[in-house]
Every structure is written in structure tokens, then in C-alpha cells.
Amino acid sequence: MQRKKTDTPILNQDNSKQSSLFLPNFCSLKMVFSVVIIGELLAFILTLAPMRLEHQRWNDLALISLFIQWNGMVGSASLCLLRPVLTRYSNQFAAVVSYLVLLLSITLISEITFFVLQYYSVEEMIASVTHWEFLIHNLLIGGIISALALRYFYIQDQWRVKMEAESCTRLQLLQARIRPHFLFNSMNTIASLTRTRPETAERITEDLAELFRMLFKSDHEMIPWSRELDLCQRYIEIEKQRLGERLHISWQVKSVPGDAMVPALLLQPLLENAIFHGIEPEINGGEVKVIGQFRNRQLVLTVQNSNSQNLVHRQGNKMALDNIRERLITHYDGQARLACHEEDDIYYVKLTIPYIKHDKKDVT
Amino acid sequence: MKVLIVDDEPLARERLKMLCQEIDKNFELLEAQNGLQAVETVNQSEPDVVLMDIRMPAMGGLEAAQHLMTIDNPPAIIFTTAYDEYALQAFEAQAVDYLLKPIRKDKLQQAMEKGARLNKLQLEYIGQQNQEVPLRTHISAQVAGSLLLIPIADILCFLADQKYITVKYLKDGQVVETIIEDTLKSLEEEFADDFIRIHRNALIRKNRIEGLHKQPDGRTLLKLLQLDEGLKVSRRHLSAIRKLIKGKL
């Protein structure tokens, strides 16, 4: 009983580490089958490669196949046995060790083969080569194939890791764009308004629907500034219901041309941050200021809020800003900037993006 | 039954009031907009149940609950929240009562009927698990049966006695003192950014130091701004304090 207890965590640990080793599991039947097939294909290539026509070809194929399959099986078996050891080390180390093990197994099998052939006096099979030539020949071919295989496994593993990471970050990206907090708080607001002020509840529901409709569109959607402004104002409407007198907002954005194209919901997360950090932690609330300027064919959007001393939730802030930066890179390829700084207890976030006129949308 | 509703959002309070009234028309409903007001209201009206939001200005729900736990006969506390990943996990783990907004009437009724009492261990665990809970903003003390909250920012020093700790703090420009139950060690750990130990029995606010005074008998006394008496400095802590004073100049 006691033994079982101590064993379990160790097993778990091994499982989690095994998934980080780049080599596939050579102990599995599927993998053994693949090795057999690949070995056989290699045997065909080697038989066909010499551009000579001889009737011995089928014999050659049989011997070469036998030799390669032995190598494949011994190699797979060694990697299978070594797996628990290799998982404890880094991928680089595991790769080097596996490569050396494969070369060693090729050497051993070559030696055995050579002596067996000699013993049964089937020398004519290898009559044309000396012992050393035979060994070096095999090692060269085996070395190249092993290297290719390891490289292939490594790239496949990298691809798997990337896929896993991507599926994991997609949710985080969505959360960086709109906080789940906001959704549930809005629902609560609507639930409360439904009885006392049904018309307001109706309007807030519509606003919320519009925001989420846009949110579920692709990351790459571009919309005119006039539309973005409208969405952001709807967002503020919802928050105003919730925070009441505490939220003051001022828009100074008249100079921004309405036909300028911007990535959809680029500004909204900045407003959400400003409210989360600047308004919500304060009893008397505060003001969020949005200033839009248009100069040198660039849009400069500044969001500022009184910065509360409350240092928690910085993590969420960073996530949202990182997400916006990423979107700026994909949309503008380095021609847009996001900068933030703090001055006299005011927190500023400044977005600078190039002006792209509306009708260009059809071209891109 | 007296129910105290604590939430900074007017609409959230409104909805909870409606739900409570539907559950029982005879409920006496009280409201507070943040943790500070909640503690005050508990002092005055001694509610049976507190419905406590977590994220609020001035003082959050978790800290308020922490203070309320120290009174002799604390109310049952039910947390309400829209979405606090970390807090929720901690609540689940500790079987603490919580309600998710928008709150359902039947869930609210169940929770009220259960009237489960929080305990200190549960709260401590939640605090440890919850990355978003900041340091305490206040220290609480029981004075004449009610809970007194002292803002950390007003505290000059903590002085340990045989059994208790005396807190000296500023109230309307005057130095007043009160007794709390805590240990200097835990206070020192919690507020290490603002306070420094100068003696086995004294923890003082760093930015209140006026200077060090050598006494004729070789002892060193530390003067705090606005505090008349000098405080003993032990040899062990002297160099750290000198360094701190130098660093400020």
C-alpha cells in the first residue's frame, strides 16, 4: 500500500516528461510498423540505385531488406529501452545519444552480418568489398538515414508543440480582448434593469450583441474609424449603466477622419483597461479621456485615466497591451506604435497608426 | 433577519434587494458600497447575513471579510462575484459560500438558509490562493465591542507589550493608540515595504523617521515625526536603520 503511494507521483512525473521528449514512442506497434515500411522502401531504393541490370536483383533485395530490417528493429528496440532514460535529459542531449546508439547498433549488426556471411561462405555476396569497406559503407548510409529521421522527428515535435501552444493562446487572446468579467457584469446589469427599466435593458442588450458580433469576427477585420468609435461608445454606455456617476468620459476625437480604417476593436481594450484600473478601484471614480489627433497622415489616439495606486491587476493590463501590439504588427508591419507612460498619477496609452483611407479596403 | 448587501454597483445592489424581498418580505435590508462601509454597518446594525462583492474600491470583499471574522459573533458571509477565476477556485476548494452574478433566486435562497459561517483558516487559504488580493489596507481592532478600522497609511508604529500590540496612529492630526491582537513578526512580513523593525518589540513606519539620538548612557533612541517619545533601537537593527536614513538623504 505504502509503496503504491510513493510510486504514483513518480509515474505522473514521467508521463509529463515523456510528452516533452521529441522522439516518438518506438515501443508502440504503430511506430514499429512505420519503421518496417520505411526500411523496406529504403531497401528498394538501394536495390534500384546501381544502374545495372542483373538477374540477381531479387536476391539483392532480399538480403538488403533483411539487413535493413535487422538494423531498424535493433535501433527501434534500443530507443524504446532508452526512452525512460532519455526523457530525463534535454532534447539536444537525447538527440546526440540516440544518434550514437543508432550508429553503434549499425556497427554491431554490420560486424555480425559480415562474420555470418563469411562463416557460411556466401562470400560471393560481398566478395567485391573488404571488411572495412563493408562497415564504412553501412555506417555512412545508416548515419545519413538516422540523421534524417531524427531531424524529421524533431521538426514534427516542434510542430506539435506549436499547435498545442496556439490552441491554448487562442482563448487567452479572446480574454485579452474582452474580459469575461465584463460579459458577466453586463449580464447582471441587464438582469437588474429588466424589471425596473426594460427599455434601457433592451438597449444595453443590443449594444452588447453588437460588441460581441464584432469580437467574434476575425482578428484581421478592418473597419472605418466612425464604426470603431460607435462600438466604443456603445461599450462605454454599458459600463456607464454599471458604474453610474463614477465613470466620466470625454471624447476629443473630432479631428480623426471617419473614413480612416482601423483594426476592429483596437481602441476598446484600452478603454476597458482604463476603466478597470482607473475608475473601478476609486470610490469617487474618475475620468477617462480619449483624444484623437490626425497629423502627418497618421492617427494618434491617446487614452488617459487617473492611475490608481492599486497595483493589482497589472497582469491583465499587460496581456491586453501585448495583444494590441501583436495586432499592430500583423496589420501595419512595424509602421504603428503603442506606447504607455505614467505622469503625475495619470496613465497614458498612445496609439499611433498610419492613415489608410476607407476605399482601400476593397483592394486589400 | 437582517441582510447587508455590499456592492459598489447600484444596479447590482438593486437587483439583490429585489431578490431578497421576493424570498422574504420581512427581511430587513441594509446596503453598503464597499468594504469600509460594510464594516461600519456591521458595527452599527449587526446583520445576520452579509452578501459581499469581491472587487470594490477602498476595501475589497475579501479584506472586509477578514476584518469581520475578528469580531465575536460574526455574520454569515456569502461572496458574490461576476468572474474571479482565482477566488472561485479558492472558494470551491474551501467550500465557502459564493454566488455568481447574475445571481439566481433559488441559489441565493439556498445560501441564506444554509447561513454557513466562514472561518479564519478558509479565508487565509483564499488569500494565499488569490493573486489578485492586495495587502490589507487597514488593521482592525475591537474597541468596546465594535470593530475599529485603522488605515495602514496612518500608522506610525507597532509596539509589542507582554501580550498585546499597541498601535500608534494619527487621527485628525493627533496621535492616538489602540490595542490589537497580532504578532509583530506577521505584521513585519506583511508590511515589509513600509515598516521596519528597530527593536525586538517595535516596528515603525519607514517614512516617518526623523532621526537617531545617541543617549548619554550609550543607548540610541529613534525619533518619529509627530511622536514625542523616543523609541529604543537595538544594536542588532542599528546598521540597517542607519543605512535606511542614509539612503533617504
Q: What residues of A are in contact with residue B63 (Cβ under 8 Å)?
A: none
Q: How many whole angstroms separate alpha carbon A46 and alpha carbon A60?
A: 9
Specify which of A31-35, A235-239, B147-151 reaches the highest per-range mean pLDDT.
A235-239
Burial class (CB in 10 A: 0-12, 13-18, 19+), A274: buried
Q: Which residue in B11, B12, B83 is closest to A181 by CB distance?
A: B83
Instruction: Say if the Cβ atoms of A188 and B15 lie within 8 Å.
Output: yes
Confidence of residue A128 (pLDDT cuts 50, 70, 90): low
User: Which secondary structure element, helix H or strand E, spans residue B51, and what is its range?
Assistant: strand B49-53
3-state secondary structure of B154: helix
Chain center to CA of A170: 9
Count of beta carbons in the 10 Å neighbourhood of residue A128: 9
Query: What structural domains and CATH numbers belong to chain B?
Result: 2-129 (3.40.50.2300), 153-248 (2.40.50.1020)
Q: Inform me whether the pLDDT recorded for A5 exceeds 50.
A: no
User: What's the pLDDT at A50?
Assistant: 76
Edge-to-edge strand list for the sheet holding B209-214: B209-214, B220-224, B231-233
Is A76 or A307 the better-scoring residue by pLDDT? Answer: A76
Share of chain A above pLDDT 70, in %: 83
**Residues contacting residue B139 through CB under 8 Å, at least 6 positions apart:** B149, B150, B152, B155, B167, B180, B182
Nearest by CB to residue A189, choosing from B11, B57, B58, is B11
CA–CA separation, B152 and B169 (whole Å)? 9
Cβ–Cβ under 8 Å, residues A18 and A87: yes
Q: Which of A280, A309, A292, A194 is nearest to A251 (CA)?
A: A292
Q: Which residue among A180, A191, A243 places its CB closest to the CB of B15?
A: A191
- Distances from the Cα of A322 to the Cαs of A219, A306, A333, A351, B196, in angstroms? 14, 21, 15, 13, 37
> Cβ of B9 and A283 within 8 Å?
no
- Nearest-angstrom CA–CA distance, B222 and B232: 6
CA distance A230 to chain B (A): 24
3-state secondary structure (DSSP) of residue B160 = strand
* Inter-chain residue contact A280 with B18, CB threshold 8 Å: no
Chain A residues touching residue B131 (CB < 8 angstroms): 315
The pLDDT of residue A125 is 57
Size of interface A-B (CB pairs under 8 A): 66
Nearest by CB to A244, which of B10, B18, B58? B10
Residues B152-203: tens digit of each pLDDT? 999 999 999 888 899 999 999 899 999 998 889 888 988 888 999 999 999 9
A310/B101 CB distance under 8 A: no
Interface list for chain B against chain A, based on CB atoms closer than 8 Å: 8-12, 14-15, 18, 33-34, 55, 57-58, 82-84, 100-103, 131-134
Does B9 sit within 8 Å of A312, measured CB to CB?
Answer: no
Cβ–Cβ below 8 Å for A184 and B10: no
SS3 state at B22? helix
Nearest to B60 by CA among A241, A345, A192, A313: A313
Q: What's the rounded Cα separation, in Å, for the pair A261 and A132?
A: 71
pLDDT in the model for residue B40: 94
CB within 8 Å of B157: residues ≥ 6 apart: B167, B168, B202, B203, B204, B205, B208, B224, B227, B231
Higher pLDDT, A219 or A354: A354
Q: Which residues of B touch A315 (CB under 8 A)?
A: 131
Who has greater pLDDT, A72 or A344? Answer: A72
Contact A184 B14 (CB under 8 A): no
**CATH no. of A180-362:** 3.30.565.10
Q: How far is B134 from chain A (nearest CA, A)?
A: 7
Domain ranges of chain A: 2-174, 180-362
Q: Which chain B residue lies closest to A283 (C-alpha atoms)?
A: B57
Going by pLDDT thresholds of 50, 70 and 90, the confidence category of residue A320 is confident
Indicate yes or no: CB of B11 within 8 angstroms of CB of A184.
no
C-alpha dist (Å) from residue A118 to A71, A107, A108, A112, B111: 19, 17, 15, 10, 87
Min Cα distance B8 → chain A (Å) is: 8
A91 with A24: CB under 8 angstroms?
no
- Interface contact flag, A193 B11, Cβ < 8 Å: yes
Nearest of A362, A364, A356, A323 to residue A224 by alpha carbon: A356
Pick the more confident residue, A115 or B133. Answer: A115
Residue A12 is predicted with a pLDDT of 35
Confidence of residue A6 (pLDDT cuts 50, 70, 90): very low
Complex confidence, ipTM: 0.80
Statement: residue A311 has pLDDT above 50: no
Residues of A in Cβ contact (< 8 Å) with B107 = none
* pLDDT beneath 70, residues of chain B: 86, 93, 95, 129-135, 248-249
Alpha-carbon distances of A313 from A182, A273, A302, B134, B189, rounded to whole Å: 14, 10, 21, 10, 22
The one-letter amino acid code at A202 reads E
Please report residues of A whose CB lies closer than 8 A to that of B83. 179-181, 183-185
Q: Which residue of A has its CA nearest to B13?
A: A192
Residue B78 makes CB contacts below 8 A (sequence gap 6+) with B49, B50, B51, B52, B97, B98, B99, B111, B112
Label residue A314 exposed, middle or buried (CB < 10 Å: 0-12, 13-18, 19+).
Answer: exposed
Task: Please give the pLDDT value at position A176.
Answer: 62
Q: Which of A181, A192, A313 sits opposite B11 (nearest CB)?
A: A192
User: Per-residue pLDDT for A272 more than 70?
Assistant: yes
Q: How far apart are CA A28 and CA A36, in angstroms?
A: 13
CB atoms within 10 A of CB B236: 11
Please give, rounded to a whole number of angstroms, the shortest distance from the CA of B228 to a CA of chain A: 31
Beta bridge partners of A40: none
Give the pLDDT score at B143.
85
